[in-house]
Amino acid sequence: MSHNAPAAEPDKRRLRRGFLAARNALTTDAVRNAAHALAGRALGMPEVAGAHAVAAYVSVGAEPGTRALLDALRARGVRVLLPALLPDNDLDWGEYTGEGSLTHVRHGGRMTLSEPAGERLGPDAVTEADVVLLPGLAVDGRGMRLGRGGGSYDRVLARLERAGARPALLVLLYDAEVVAHVPEEPHDRPVDAVVTPSGVRRFR
C-alpha cells in the first residue's frame, strides 16, 4: 500500500534504475533540444513570469536541462538561487550570476555537481523563493514526485512548510516520465505542476 514505507523503497529503487537508464540512452541533441523546450514552457508560466526569486538547480548529464532556463531567468532580472550539498545531505544556497558563478564540486564517490561559487546564504534562503524547481525522475497524476533518493529536497519541503512559505513547486521532466503512479511515503508532498518539453500539467 502507498503508506507502507518499507514496501515503497524497493519499488522506488527499481523505478529509479529504469528512469535513469532511459535518460542515459538519450542523445546529446535530444537532451539539448528538450532543455530549450523546457525553458520556453517554464518561462511561459505565470508563476515563473511573475517570480522575483527562483530556487533552481544545475542539471547534470542527461537530466532534463536547466541551464537555458537559468540564463533566461537571469536575463529577466530574476534572483536565481542554486543549492550546495552539505555533508548531511541538507542544502545550502547561493546566487547564480552567470556561468562564472559556478564551481564543480565532487561529493565523495557519488557525483560532481555544479554549485554556486559565491557567498553561502544558509539553508533557509530557499524560503524566500516564489518558485522552487525540484529535481525528479518521474511524477504521477496526483503530482507525487519520485526523487533521486538522497532526501535533500524532502528537507527543503519540510523547511518551506515550517516557515509557512508557499512557493510554486515545479518539477522539470521528459514527457515519458509523467506516469500513472509512483510509490509514496507519508512524508512525500505533491508538486504543483510538471513541466515537460510538450507542455505544462498542473495538479491542484
Q: Would you list which residues are annotated within the binding site for substrate?
A: 58, 63
Report yes or no: 144 and 166 within 8 Å, Cβ to Cβ.
no
3-state secondary structure of 13: helix
What is the DSSP code string of 169-181? EEEE--GGGEES-
Report yes or no: 67 and 98 within 8 Å, Cβ to Cβ.
no
Identity of the residue numbered 130: D
Give the DSSP H or E segment for 73: helix 67-75
Report yes or no: 131 and 79 within 8 Å, Cβ to Cβ.
no
Q: Could you tell me which residues are annotated as the binding site for ATP?
A: 12-16, 145-153
- Rounded-to-integer distance, Cα 144 and Cα 12, Å: 12
Q: Which three cell numbers stand for residue 141?
A: 497524476
> What is the Cα 114 distance to its own chain's centre?
14
3-state secondary structure of 12: helix
Q: Could you tell me which residues are annotated as the binding site?
A: 12-16, 58, 63, 145-153
